[in-house]
Amino acid sequence: MGQARSPRHEVVLAAALALALSGCAGAQRRGATRRPIPPLAKAVVRTAKSYLPEEEKGRKLPKDCSDYVHAVFKENGIELPRTSLEMARRGEPLASSGDLQMGDLVFFSGSKPSSTVGHIGIYVNNGIFIHFAKEETGVTMESMYSDYYRKRYLKARRVIP
Active site residues: 65, 119, 131
Buried-exposed string 98-135: b where 16+ CB fall within 10 A, e elsewhere: ebbbbbbbbbbbeeeeeeebbbbbbbbeebebbbbeee
The SS3 call for residue 140 is strand
Give the residue from 74, 77, 148, 156 showing the smallest Cα distance to 122: 156
